[in-house]
Amino acid sequence: MSVLEAVIRSVAVVAAFLVLPLLVGQTEHKFMAHMQGRLGPMYAGGWHGWAQLIADAAKFVQKEDVIPAAADRGVFRIAPAVALIPYMAGLAFIPIGDGIVGADVPASAFAVLAALGVGILGHLMGGWASANKYSMIGAMRGAAQLVAYELPMVLAVASVALAAGTLSLSGIVEQWQPWWLLWQLPGAIVFFIAALAEINRTPFDMPIADSEIVFGAFTEYTGLRFAFFLLAEYAGIVVMALLFTVLYLGGWAGPLAASLGVVWTLLKAWIIAAIIVWMRVSWPRLREDQLHRLAWVWLIPIALFQLALTAVVVVMTR
């Protein structure tokens, strides 16, 4: 890989990282509004408020960057970057078409999961450095949530990798067949729920539960740093939706896959993101103990059952 190619790939990943979360955010604006009988943004940009999130970004840039007096300044400042960068790294490993991937590595499924696990460090650092009890509680909730849900998620991904016989995401898509939808269904459900919990989306948004602990680890953040945390949340939706598409929905598989592969991947991922938004509008937040009960009593046994089922089928068919 030449330097030029590396630069082009990096720029493409960064561009996707900046555009796709905005698309998801706009989808959320509009879906949420219409599901609540409203219209949502209608002015920014002219046509149905398409530029609302760009206007929001411009607003965040202008805001004062406040750091609390008691805060650990250095940690407080780099925490948003620590929360944001892992999602960008994860995005680079996810293929969206045949051979269209930021960085093609052999064990890309492993690499994506490893990168996503780092994101919570940003929340922990921000929550600790803010010197605020709500930030602290939010960060601790987020960490406990990640520990609880990382396990079923990894087990579910392991099941798919076992079925495909490879840890490469591109390889998994190539091996994928439609009947896997049924075969891997329990694992897909577990993965989806665990992904929701990892990116702190409703009904698993206790780390930022605004009715209980203000805004969790982001309570003391303002301006651009706060916007980075928000961008990390929507980048998380993008990464998780793409990952779900690649692992369970066959990625770019579909009619005219040779020329329309990227469109299929993005369309499937967009539908997944829309479902995530739909859930946010429809459901209330779980209690903290219910969250952990769900993970340990339901998800992990189901994931283990899926792993055993996959192993039995693989042994019998090969």
Partner 1 sequence: MSQGPFAFVAGLAGGLRTTARTMRRTAITQEYPDVLPDLPPRSRGVIALVEENCTSCMLCARECPDWCIYIDSHKETIPATTPGGRDRQRNVLDRFAIDFALCMYCGICIEACPFDALHWSPVFELAETDIRDLLHERDRLAKWAQTIPPPQPLDPAAPDPAELAASRKPARPARPAADGAAAAERPARPERPERPARAERPDRPPRAERPAGAERPERPAGAERPARPPRVEPTERSMPLPRPQTDDHGAEAPRAAAPGAPAAPEAAAAPEAPATAGEDATTQVLPTVASDPVATDGPGAQA
Residue 288 Cβ vs partner 1, minimum distance, rounded to whole Å: 15
Following CA atoms 95, 105, 237, 42 in sequence, which dihedral angle do they give, to the nearest 10 degrees?
-50
In the complex with partner 1, the residue whose CB is nearer, 232 or 273, is 273
Residue 192 Cβ vs partner 1, minimum distance, rounded to whole Å: 13
CA 175 to chain centre: 24
In the complex with partner 1, the residue whose CB is nearer, 29 or 225, is 29
In the complex with partner 1, the residue whose CB is nearer, 31 or 110, is 31
In the complex with partner 1, the residue whose CB is nearer, 34 or 59, is 34
Residue 54 Cβ vs partner 1, minimum distance, rounded to whole Å: 21
In the complex with partner 1, the residue whose CB is nearer, 101 or 188, is 188
Instruction: Assess contact for 126 and 229: CB atoms under 8 A.
Output: yes
How far, in Å, CA of 255 to CA of 137, rounded?
48
Residue 39 Cβ vs partner 1, minimum distance, rounded to whole Å: 4
Residue 152 Cβ vs partner 1, minimum distance, rounded to whole Å: 16
Q: In this structure, what token pair is assigned to residue 280?
A: 């946010």
In the complex with partner 1, the residue whose CB is nearer, 31 or 204, is 31
Residue 26 Cβ vs partner 1, minimum distance, rounded to whole Å: 16
- Residue tagged 């990168």 (tokens): 115
How far, in Å, CA of 273 to CA of 23, rounded?
10
Binding site for partner 1 (CB under 8 A): 31, 33-39, 42, 278-279, 281-283, 290, 298
- DSSP readout, 223-287? HHHHHHHHHHHHHHHHHHHHHHHHHHS-TT-STTHHHHHHHHHHHHHHHHHHHHHHHHHH--PPP
Region of 62 please: left (phi>0), alpha (psi -120 to 50) or beta. Answer: alpha
